[in-house]
C-alpha cells in the first residue's frame, strides 16, 4: 500500500516539450530540389520521407518566436531522436530549422488551399500530409456550416492527387475569442466522422486532436499557438508519424544522459511537495536537491544528483522534485528506463515519477519494473533490487498508462520508516516506444 504523497494536480502552463539543443541538428536538405521524374520510393531513399506541412499561418508559424510553427520541434524529434531522414516539402519557406519548406499560407481558408493544392502535390509528391486548416474559415465566419464539406472534399482531392498518400487531419487548435472558438468546436465535432468515412473508403487518413491538447496558455494571441503550444502540436504529429512509419524500430520520446546538447532539466532542486525531508547534512542545505553534477556517471560526464535528509522515522517522509517539463503521449508499448546509483540504503528509496496531464501519476499507477516491483520510491527501496554504490537499471513497461500523456517528470524520495541522509545519482533516462 502506498503511503506516499498524493499529487495535488498542479498544472503548469509553460510546457516546453522535449527540447533537444538546436546545436545538434544537421544542416541539410533545405535546398534539395524535388525531382519530378523520381518515384515516391526513390525520393524517400534519397532525401527522406517527404512530408508536407499544409495549412495556414499556424503551419507557417505565426505566434512562434522563431516563425517555425511546430516544424522545428517536429524536425528535431524525427531526425535527432528517431533517427529518420525526412524532407519537408512545399512551395513556401519560413522558420528557423534545417528544412524550412512547407505549405503554410497565412490567412488562407479551405477553399483557397483547395484551389492550389493540385499543383503543389504534383510538384512535391508528399508521402504524408499534415493538414491543419479551417481556422480562417471560422475567423472570417466564412460559410461555416459547409466548412466540414469543404474539408471533406479537400481530403478527397489530396488522396486522388497522390495515390498512397497518408493524410493526418487535425481537429484545429482553440481560439481565445469565444465566438470564433464556438465555431471551431462545431467544425471540429464534424471531423471525426469525415475521417472515418475516408478510412471506410480505404483512404489512408488519420485524425489528430489538436484542440484538446492546447489550452489558453498555449496561445500567443487570439488564433495562434505560442512556442509551448507548437511543441505540443509537434509531439502529436510525431506520435502519428510513428504509427505511419512504424517499422519495428525503437521510437524515442525522451533520451537524456544529462550531457551537453541533450535534454536538460527544466527545474533544478525544485520541490513540488515534501514532508519530513530536509537538506543533506552539509553546506546549509534545506531541501532535497535534484540537479546535474559532473561527479559520478553511468555515461558521459554528467548525471542527475539527488540528496536530502529524512527527518522522521515514523511519519510520512517524502520529497517529490520537479525535473523535466514534457508532453509525452504514452502507448501500449512505451517503456521507461533509467540508471540509478544509490550511495547508501536510504538512497535506494528513490524513483522517477510522472505527473500525467489527467492528474494521475506513475508511482500510484501499479506500473512494475523488470523485477516486478512497483515504480514508486518506497517500493523501490523495500524491493531490495537496487544495490548500494553501483549502477542499477530500472526498466518499466508503461502500457498501463496507455492513452495518457506525461506532463512532468519528477524525482521522488519516499520512505515511511527509517531516517537519515540519502544521496545518489540518476543517469541515462529514456522513454521510448517499441523498445522491447
Ligand atoms: Ca525540403
Ligand atoms: Ca550522463
Pair 181, 143 in one domain: yes
Pair 139, 260 in one domain: no
**Alpha carbon of 114 to ligand 1 centroid (Å):** 22
Q: What cell does 212 get?
A: 484538446
Pair 200, 92 in one domain: yes
**Alpha carbon of 15 to ligand 2 centroid (Å):** 24
Rounded average pLDDT over 345-351 = 98
Q: What one-character DSSP code corresponds to residue 202?
A: T
Q: What is the pLDDT of residue 384?
A: 95
Pair 317, 239 in one domain: no
Minimum-distance ligand to the CA of 92?
1
Q: What one-character DSSP code corresponds to residue 81?
A: I
pLDDT tens sequence across 70-124: 999 999 999 988 888 999 999 999 999 999 999 999 999 999 999 999 999 999 9
Rounded average pLDDT over 159-180 = 97
Among 249, 275, 308, the domain boundary falls at 249
CATH of the domain at 134: 3.40.50.1110
**Alpha carbon of 423 to ligand 1 centroid (Å):** 48
Among 249, 276, 291, the domain boundary falls at 249
Q: What cell does 98 get?
A: 534545417
Minimum-distance ligand to the CA of 102?
1
CATH of the domain at 270: 2.60.120.260
Minimum-distance ligand to the CA of 300?
2
**Alpha carbon of 291 to ligand 2 centroid (Å):** 12
The set of residues, in sequence order, having a beta carbon less than 8 Å from that of 47 and lying 6+ positions away, is 29, 32, 85, 87
Minimum-distance ligand to the CA of 298?
2
**Alpha carbon of 372 to ligand 1 centroid (Å):** 46
Minimum-distance ligand to the CA of 427?
2
Residues that place a CB less than 5 A from ion ligand 1: 87-88, 99, 101
Pair 170, 284 in one domain: no
**Alpha carbon of 14 to ligand 2 centroid (Å):** 26
Rounded average pLDDT over 407-432 = 96
What whole-number distance in Å separates Cα of residue 329 and Cα of residue 182? Answer: 27
Contact status, residue 53 vs residue 102, Cβ threshold 8 Å: yes
Can you state the percent helix, strand and coil of the chain, rounding each to 5?
30, 30, 45
Minimum-distance ligand to the CA of 341?
2
Q: Give the Cβ contact number of residue 3 at 10 Å.
A: 14
Minimum-distance ligand to the CA of 52?
1
Helix residue ranges per DSSP H, 290-340 = none
Minimum-distance ligand to the CA of 263?
2
**Alpha carbon of 116 to ligand 1 centroid (Å):** 19
Using the predicted structure, report yes or no on whether residue 380 has a pLDDT greater than 90.
yes
What whole-number distance in Å separates Cα of residue 355 and Cα of residue 327? Answer: 10
Residues that place a CB less than 5 A from ion ligand 2: 257-258, 297, 299-300, 302-303, 427
Range of the domain at 200: 36-249
pLDDT tens sequence across 206-242: 999 999 999 999 999 999 999 999 999 999 999 899 8
Q: Which of 196, 414, 434 is nearest to 312 (CA)?
A: 414
What whole-number distance in Å separates Cα of residue 396 and Cα of residue 372? Answer: 9
Pair 274, 415 in one domain: yes
Q: CA torsion angle for 159, 161, 164, 168 (degrees, to 10)? A: -40
Minimum-distance ligand to the CA of 46?
1
φ, ψ (nearest 5 deg) of residue 197: -65, -35
What whole-number distance in Å separates Cα of residue 181 and Cα of residue 199? Answer: 28
**Alpha carbon of 100 to ligand 1 centroid (Å):** 7
86 part of a folded domain: yes
- Pairing verdict, β 392-397 and 334-342: antiparallel
HSE, side-chain direction, 13 A CA sphere, residue 261? 7
316 part of a folded domain: yes
Pair 201, 59 in one domain: yes
Pair 243, 266 in one domain: no
Compute CA distances 420 → 61, 276, 316, 383, 385, whole Å: 52, 11, 14, 19, 20
10 part of a folded domain: no
365 part of a folded domain: yes
Q: What is the pLDDT of residue 81?
A: 86
Rg (CA), the chain: 24
298 part of a folded domain: yes
Minimum-distance ligand to the CA of 90?
1
Among 202, 231, 249, the domain boundary falls at 249
221 part of a folded domain: yes
Q: Locate cell 533537444: which residue?
A: 20
Pair 237, 335 in one domain: no
Pair 199, 268 in one domain: no
Secondary structure (3-state) at 365: coil
Q: What is the pLDDT of residue 8?
A: 30
Q: What is the pLDDT of residue 82?
A: 86
Q: Which of 431, 408, 291, 413 is nearest to 361 (CA)?
A: 408
Question: What is the number of residues in the chain?
Answer: 436
24 part of a folded domain: no
The tally of domains found in the chain comes to: 2
Contact status, residue 317 vs residue 416, Cβ threshold 8 Å: yes
- Pairing verdict, β 277-278 and 251-256: unpaired
What whole-number distance in Å separates Cα of residue 340 and Cα of residue 176? Answer: 44
Helix axes 147-161, 178-200, angle to 10 degrees: 40
φ, ψ (nearest 5 deg) of residue 214: -110, 135
Pair 201, 262 in one domain: no
Pair 232, 276 in one domain: no
What whole-number distance in Å separates Cα of residue 288 and Cα of residue 269? Answer: 7
Using the predicted structure, report yes or no on whether residue 23 has a pLDDT greater than 50.
no
41 part of a folded domain: yes
- Label residue 398 left, alpha or beta by phi (over 0 means left) and psi (-120 to 50 means alpha): alpha
pLDDT tens sequence across 385-409: 999 999 999 999 999 999 999 999 9
**Alpha carbon of 428 to ligand 2 centroid (Å):** 6
**Alpha carbon of 5 to ligand 2 centroid (Å):** 29
Q: Which of 242, 114, 232, 108 is nearest to 173 (CA)?
A: 232
**Alpha carbon of 91 to ligand 1 centroid (Å):** 9
Binning pLDDT at 50, 70 and 90, where does residue 435 land? low
Amino acid at each position: 500500500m502506498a503511503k506516499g504523497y498524493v499529487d495535488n494536480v498542479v498544472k503548469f502552463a509553460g510546457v516546453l516539450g522535449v527540447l533537444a539543443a538546436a546545436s545538434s541538428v544537421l544542416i541539410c536538405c533545405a535546398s534539395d530540389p524535388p525531382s519530378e521524374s523520381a518515384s515516391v520510393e526513390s525520393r524517400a531513399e534519397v532525401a527522406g520521407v517527404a512530408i508536407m506541412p499544409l495549412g495556414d499561418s499556424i503551419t507557417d508559424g505565426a505566434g512562434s518566436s522563431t516563425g517555425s510553427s511546430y516544424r522545428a520541434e517536429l524536425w528535431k524529434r524525427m531526425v535527432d531522436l528517431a533517427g529518420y531522414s525526412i524532407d519537408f516539402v512545399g512551395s513556401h519557406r519560413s522558420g528557423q530549422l534545417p528544412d524550412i519548406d512547407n505549405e503554410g499560407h497565412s490567412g488562407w481558408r479551405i477553399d483557397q488551399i483547395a484551389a492550389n493544392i493540385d499543383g503543389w502535390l504534383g510538384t512535391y509528391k508528399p508521402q504524408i500530409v499534415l493538414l491543419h486548416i479551417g481556422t480562417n474559415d471560422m475567423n472570417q465566419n466564412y460559410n461555416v456550416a459547409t466548412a466540414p464539406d469543404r474539408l471533406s472534399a479537400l481530403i478527397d482531392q489530396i488522396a486522388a492527387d497522390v495515390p498512397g498518400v497518408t493524410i493526418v487531419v487535425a481537429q484545429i487548435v482553440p481560439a481565445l475569442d469565444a465566438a470564433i472558438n464556438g465555431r471551431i468546436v462545431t467544425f471540429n465535432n464534424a471531423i471525426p466522422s469525415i475521417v472515418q468515412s475516408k478510412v471506410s473508403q480505404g483512404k489512408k487518413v488519420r485524425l489528430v486532436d489538436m484542440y484538446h491538447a492546447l489550452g489558453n496558455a498555449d496561445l500567443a494571441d487570439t488564433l495562434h499557438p505560442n512556442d509551448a503550444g507548437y511543441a505540443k502540436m509537434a509531439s502529436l504529429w510525431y506520435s502519428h508519424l510513428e504509427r505511419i512509419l512504424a517499422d519495428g524500430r525503437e521510437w524515442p520520446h525522451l533520451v537524456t544522459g544529462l550531457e551537453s546538447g541533450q535534454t536538460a532539466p527544466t527545474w533544478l532542486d525544485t520541490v513540488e511537495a515534501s514532508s519530513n525531508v530536509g537538506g543533506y547534512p552539509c553546506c546549509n542545505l534545506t531541501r532535497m536537491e535534484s540537479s546535474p553534477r559532473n561527479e559520478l556517471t553511468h555515461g558521459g560526464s554528467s548525471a542527475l544528483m539527488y540528496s536530502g535528509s529524512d527527518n522522521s522515522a515514523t511519519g510520512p517522509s517524502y520529497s517529490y522534485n520537479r525535473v523535466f517539463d514534457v508532453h509525452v503521449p504514452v502507448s501500449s508499448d512505451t517503456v521507461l528506463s533509467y540508471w540509478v546509483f544509490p550511495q547508501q540504503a536510504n538512497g535506494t528509496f528513490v524513483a522517477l515519477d510522472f505527473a500525467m496531464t489527467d492528474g494521475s501519476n506513475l508511482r500510484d499507477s501499479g506500473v512494475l519494473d523488470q523485477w516486478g516491483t512497483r515504480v514508486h520510491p518506497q517500493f523501490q527501496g523495500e524491493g531490495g533490487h537496487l544495490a548500494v554504490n553501483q549502477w542499477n537499471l530500472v526498466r518499466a513497461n508503461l502500457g498501463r498508462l496507455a492513452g495518457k500523456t506525461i506532463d512532468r517528470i519528477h524525482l521522488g524520495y519516499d520512505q515511511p520508516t527509517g531516517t537519515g541522509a540519502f544521496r545518489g545519482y540518476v543517469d541515462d533516462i529514456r522513454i521510448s516506444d517499441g523498445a522491447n
